[in-house]
Amino acid sequence: MSQPESTDARRSTTTDASGLADLPDSVAAGAINHAILRVARLHRMLAGQLLRRVGLHPSQELVMMQLWDRGPQRQTDLVRLLGSDAATMTRTIRRLENAGFVRRRPSPIDKRVTIVEPTAASNALRTEVEQVWMDLETSVADGMTPAQQAEVIEVLGRIEESLARATSQEA
């Protein structure tokens, strides 16, 4: 009488085009999801390592870049511009304020509105943060031709649109 196959034996013995190790059938059924999760995790890990040099955590640099490029902003505008939620943005702004990189003040027009502005201390970091951002981009695009980079941006844009549609349908 034969033994039932183990889960490992039922797995495919081939690798996908990306060269990733064999995936369990349940994960392989969502191979794009798996690839996105792996890339996002590694991207965030590298961003965290690079940003530590300047005293920031991942996504704090995005808030700072918005403030440096656009000037003082309403906190609600930062939420919209960065695709965040109010609670996350409040925590991020509080941490940046505690680090001395931003200051919050009430709007002179509407006292219910909070304006967030960069401080002189954060302005001194701008060049370093921009260098970190370029280093991250270089690592991401390592070995890609300009045409491949453009294709990646196009594909990621389509994925983002698909996810945005699915998210709005779920709401």
pLDDT at residue 140 greater than cutoff 50 = yes
48-86 per-position pLDDT tens digit:
999 999 999 999 999 999 999 999 999 999 999 998 999
pLDDT given for residue 37 in this prediction: 92
Number of H helices, E strands in the chain: 8, 3
Q: How far apart are CA 158 and CA 167, in angstroms?
A: 14
Reading the block at residue 42, the tokens are: 């590694």
Long-range contacts of the stretch 20-26 (C-beta < 8 A, 24+): none
Distance of alpha carbon 106 from alpha carbon 68, whole angstroms: 19
Contact 107, 74 (CB under 8 A): yes
- The proportion of the chain whose per-residue pLDDT surpasses 70, expressed as a percent, equals 87
Residue in 103, 128, 114 with CA at minimum distance from that of residue 78: 114
Give the pLDDT score at 16.
46
Query: Which strands form 73-74's sheet, in the order they lie side by side?
Result: 73-74, 114-118, 102-106
Handedness of CA 165, 65, 37, 136 (dihedral sign): positive
